[in-house]
Amino acid sequence: GQQLNQSPQSMFIQEGEDVSMNCTSSSIFNTWLWYKQDPGEGPVLLIALYKAGELTSNGRLTAQFGTTRKDSFLNISASIPSDVGIYFCAGHSFGNEKLTFGTGTRLTIIP
Protein backbone atom coordinates (compact mmCIF):
# COMPACT_ATOMS: atom_id res chain seq x y z
CA GLY A 1 0.00 0.00 0.00
CA GLN A 2 0.89 3.64 -0.08
CA GLN A 3 3.43 4.84 2.45
CA LEU A 4 4.15 8.28 3.76
CA ASN A 5 7.52 9.18 5.22
CA GLN A 6 7.31 12.19 7.48
CA SER A 7 10.38 14.01 8.80
CA PRO A 8 11.72 14.92 11.13
CA GLN A 9 10.17 12.64 13.73
CA SER A 10 10.72 15.26 16.42
CA MET A 11 11.92 18.82 16.71
CA PHE A 12 13.16 20.80 19.68
CA ILE A 13 13.18 24.52 19.01
CA GLN A 14 13.15 27.82 20.86
CA GLU A 15 10.19 30.14 20.83
CA GLY A 16 10.35 32.48 17.86
CA GLU A 17 12.15 30.05 15.57
CA ASP A 18 10.77 28.97 12.23
CA VAL A 19 9.90 25.30 11.69
CA SER A 20 9.94 23.16 8.56
CA MET A 21 8.73 19.61 8.12
CA ASN A 22 7.91 17.48 5.13
CA CYS A 23 6.25 14.33 3.86
CA THR A 24 7.20 12.17 0.94
CA SER A 25 5.14 9.45 -0.68
CA SER A 26 5.96 6.35 -2.69
CA SER A 27 3.13 7.26 -5.05
CA ILE A 28 1.19 10.25 -6.32
CA PHE A 29 -1.46 11.95 -4.24
CA ASN A 30 -4.19 14.29 -5.46
CA THR A 31 -4.78 15.91 -2.08
CA TRP A 32 -2.42 16.70 0.77
CA LEU A 33 -3.70 17.53 4.23
CA TRP A 34 -1.88 18.75 7.32
CA TYR A 35 -3.24 18.11 10.82
CA LYS A 36 -2.16 19.08 14.34
CA GLN A 37 -2.89 16.96 17.37
CA ASP A 38 -2.76 18.23 20.94
CA PRO A 39 -2.34 15.77 23.84
CA GLY A 40 -5.56 13.90 24.58
CA GLU A 41 -7.35 15.35 21.57
CA GLY A 42 -8.17 14.30 18.05
CA PRO A 43 -6.25 15.70 15.05
CA VAL A 44 -7.43 19.08 13.80
CA LEU A 45 -7.22 20.02 10.14
CA LEU A 46 -4.81 22.91 9.50
CA ILE A 47 -4.41 23.16 5.74
CA ALA A 48 -5.72 21.29 2.70
CA LEU A 49 -3.93 21.32 -0.67
CA TYR A 50 -5.60 20.21 -3.89
CA LYS A 51 -3.26 21.14 -6.74
CA ALA A 52 0.38 20.41 -7.56
CA GLY A 53 2.50 23.46 -6.78
CA GLU A 54 -0.20 25.02 -4.62
CA LEU A 55 1.00 27.18 -1.74
CA THR A 56 -1.55 27.86 1.00
CA SER A 57 -1.28 29.79 4.25
CA ASN A 58 -3.24 29.68 7.49
CA GLY A 59 -1.89 32.42 9.74
CA ARG A 60 1.73 31.62 10.52
CA LEU A 61 1.44 28.25 8.81
CA THR A 62 2.28 27.73 5.15
CA ALA A 63 2.02 24.44 3.29
CA GLN A 64 2.96 23.49 -0.23
CA PHE A 65 1.84 20.70 -2.54
CA GLY A 66 5.02 19.46 -4.19
CA THR A 67 5.25 19.67 -7.98
CA THR A 68 5.94 15.94 -8.28
CA ARG A 69 2.71 15.28 -6.32
CA LYS A 70 4.71 12.92 -4.14
CA ASP A 71 5.63 15.38 -1.41
CA SER A 72 4.36 18.22 0.72
CA PHE A 73 5.91 20.72 3.09
CA LEU A 74 4.70 22.58 6.17
CA ASN A 75 6.38 25.68 7.55
CA ILE A 76 5.58 27.48 10.79
CA SER A 77 6.98 30.94 11.22
CA ALA A 78 7.87 32.58 14.54
CA SER A 79 6.81 29.63 16.69
CA ILE A 80 4.85 30.24 19.89
CA PRO A 81 4.14 27.90 22.84
CA SER A 82 0.72 26.84 21.54
CA ASP A 83 2.40 25.37 18.43
CA VAL A 84 3.57 22.45 20.58
CA GLY A 85 1.99 19.17 19.48
CA ILE A 86 2.20 16.48 16.86
CA TYR A 87 1.82 17.41 13.20
CA PHE A 88 0.57 14.82 10.73
CA CYS A 89 0.52 14.90 6.98
CA ALA A 90 -2.08 12.87 5.10
CA GLY A 91 -2.54 12.11 1.43
CA HIS A 92 -5.47 11.09 -0.69
CA SER A 93 -5.58 9.77 -4.24
CA PHE A 94 -8.51 9.70 -6.65
CA GLY A 95 -10.44 6.47 -6.80
CA ASN A 96 -9.43 5.64 -3.25
CA GLU A 97 -11.69 6.50 -0.33
CA LYS A 98 -8.90 6.20 2.18
CA LEU A 99 -6.50 8.74 3.63
CA THR A 100 -2.91 7.68 4.25
CA PHE A 101 -1.28 9.30 7.27
CA GLY A 102 2.34 10.01 8.03
CA THR A 103 3.77 8.96 11.38
CA GLY A 104 3.89 12.52 12.69
CA THR A 105 6.39 15.19 13.71
CA ARG A 106 6.45 16.01 17.43
CA LEU A 107 7.21 19.68 18.01
CA THR A 108 8.60 20.76 21.39
CA ILE A 109 9.49 24.31 22.37
CA ILE A 110 12.44 24.65 24.70
CA PRO A 111 12.06 27.46 27.25
Partner 1 sequence: NAGVTQTPKFQVLKTGQSMTLQCAQDMNHEYMSWYRQDPGMGLRLIHYSVGAGITDQGEVPNGYNVSRSTTEDFPLRLLSAAPSQTSVYFCASRAGTKGSGQYFGPGTRLTVT
**Contacts to partner 1 by CB under 8 A:** 1, 6, 30-31, 33, 35, 40-45, 48, 50, 88, 92, 94, 97-99, 101-104
Nearer to partner 1, 45 or 78 (CB): 45
State the nearest-atom distance from the C-beta of 14 to partner 1, in Å.
Answer: 26
Nearer to partner 1, 1 or 81 (CB): 1
State the nearest-atom distance from the C-beta of 36 to partner 1, in Å.
Answer: 11
Nearer to partner 1, 73 or 87 (CB): 87
DSSP string for the chain = ---EEEE-SEEEEETT--EEEEEEESS--SEEEEEEE-TTS--EEEEEE-STT-EEEETTEEEEE-TTSSEEEEEE-S--GGG-EEEEEEEE-TT---EEE---EEEEEE-
State the nearest-atom distance from the C-beta of 97 to partner 1, in Å.
Answer: 6
